[in-house]
Structure 1
């Protein structure tokens, strides 16, 4: 895909959604971190349903640590893999309290060292909580990047590296949200809704639908 077409795609996504953000509900970097940790192999809707009860009861690392693993489990048992996620959330809170005064470090290496936090989660937190121009590649972004040919790659790391390379600086902070929302609601997995897509004429996907 050439530079001009890529710029037009990103411009249209920006015009369509000038101030994108995550659909996870949170009031602090800590709550965002926990929400993203819980969202692995789960929907944002399901995570929000659980955190609407969890966060009022334990809004900080200190208060969540006080719940203990079993206490955390009670709030998140409707989410898949809740046993391991409760363990990771508890261990993460313990490290945050002991090493960072209960605050979320604005540092990639420190974030990736937390239990249950990988590169994707760290990218989301750095981008959404701190405004870094990082791009977390999930299944939606991987699909959209490859279908459109915006940033094709064989795996999420390749797609991330390609996006970082080809996305102009003015779009970098928001492109993660545009692509994930586009993949979630328009360029869906089974049958993309090409007929209602704002970038349909620019997209290089060969098997377009009329939906």
Structure 2
């Protein structure tokens, strides 16, 4: 795919959704960090149902640490892998209190040192909470990037690096949200909704649906 076509694709996605946002509910960088950590192998809808109950009770590292692991589990037990996630979030809170004065660090290395936080989670937090031009490649973004030929790669790391290279600067902060939403609602896994896709004529996917 050439750069002219890439720019047109991103321009259309921007025109359709000028100010894209995550579908996770949050009101602070810490709430976002917890929500993204809980979202691994879970849906945003499922995470929101849990955090909508948790955050009014405990939405700071200190408050969640004081809940204890078992107390936290009661709020997130509807989420997949909740036992491991409760352990990680509780340990994360202790580290944030001890090493970062209870604040979420605006630093990749510090974020990735937190339990349960990998590169993708750090990318989401840096992008969504702090406005960094990072791109967190999940299954939706991986699928859309490869199908359209916007950024082809054999794994999420390759696609991330390709997107960082080919996406023009003015689109970098929002491209993560555009692609994930496009993959979630239009370019879905089993049968993409090509007929209602605003970039169908630019997409280089060979097996388009009617």
Structure 2 length normalisation: TM-score? 1.00
Identify the residue that residue 32 of structure 1 maps to in structure 2.
Answer: 32
Q: Deviations over 1:35-58 (max 9, x none)?
A: 000000000000000000000110
Identify the residue that residue 17 of structure 1 maps to in structure 2.
Answer: 17
Identify the residue that residue 62 of structure 2 maps to in structure 1.
Answer: 62
Q: Deviations over 1:1-40 (max 9, x none)?
A: 0010000000000000000010000010000000000000
Identify the residue that residue 114 of structure 1 maps to in structure 2.
Answer: 114
Aligned partners of 2:89 and 2:71: how far apart in 1? Answer: 11
Cα deviation for residue 59 of structure 1 reads: 1.2
Q: Deviations over 1:110-152 (max 9, x none)?
A: 0000000000000000000000000000000000000000001
Q: Unpaired segments of 5 or more residues in structure 2?
A: none
1:33-112 matches, within 5 Å, as: 33-112=33-112
SS at match of 2:55: helix
SS at match of 2:25: coil
Q: Deviations over 1:43-77 (max 9, x none)?
A: 00000000000001101111011000001000000
Q: Unpaired segments of 5 or more residues in structure 1?
A: none
RMSD, aligned CA: 0.3
How many residue pairs align between the two structures? 210
Identify the residue that residue 184 of structure 1 maps to in structure 2.
Answer: 184
Moved over 3 A (4+): none
Identify the residue that residue 148 of structure 1 maps to in structure 2.
Answer: 148
SS at match of 1:96: helix
Q: Deviations over 1:82-131 (max 9, x none)?
A: 00000000000000011111100000000000000000000000000000
SS at match of 2:56: helix
